[in-house]
Amino acid sequence: MADTHPAGQPARLSITRTDVDGIRVLALAGELDADNADALREALSIEESSTPPLTVLDLGAVTFLDSSAISVLALAHRDANAAGGWLRMAVLTAPVERVVQLVGLDTVIGCYPTLAQALKP
């Protein structure tokens, strides 16, 4: 069983990967901070492939996002674009959305209210 905060939310970051029609979907849960930035960076790394890297992050269970995670996301977006692909974020929780908007990350990385919308071409 995962460690939890008193509120019942995951204390550590968990990352679950699925693929939907050639799009890598990473469902994240817990906190995105300096303690797990390397795990996030690794999960977002671009795999060698002949197809452009298409990734959607499902942030519906993320409770916290700090500057180290913002940096990882910005670099992952840059790398995906350079390889002819994209990175999108979906189902942002209110605290995460607030941070993303404050730093302007939503003007760089597409944000979608639902996973289904983020998966559309």
User: Could you tell me the mean pLDDT of each successive run of 10 residues in the chain, 121 residues long?
Assistant: 44 90 96 94 87 95 95 97 96 96 97 97 84
For the question of whether the overall pTM of this predicted structure is more than 0.85, the answer is yes
Is residue 3 one of the residues assigned to a domain? no
Q: What is the pLDDT of residue 51?
A: 86
Whether 89 and 100 have beta carbons less than 8 Å apart is answered as: yes
Q: Is residue 9 part of a domain?
A: no
Domain of residue 35, residue span: 14-119
Cα(89)–Cα(60) distance, rounded to whole angstroms?
Answer: 10
Number of separate domains in the chain: 1
Distance CA 9, CA 42 (A): 23
The pLDDT of residue 1 = 34
Mark residue 59 as left, alpha or beta (left: phi above 0; alpha: psi -120 to 50; beta: remaining).
alpha
Tell me the CATH number at 96. 3.30.750.24
User: In the β-sheet with 14-20, what is the strand arrangement from edge to edge?
Assistant: 14-20, 23-32, 54-65, 86-90, 110-112
**Would residue 82 count as lying in a domain?**
yes
**Is 2 among the domain residues?**
no
**Residues 54 and 77 sit within 8 Å (Cβ to Cβ):** no
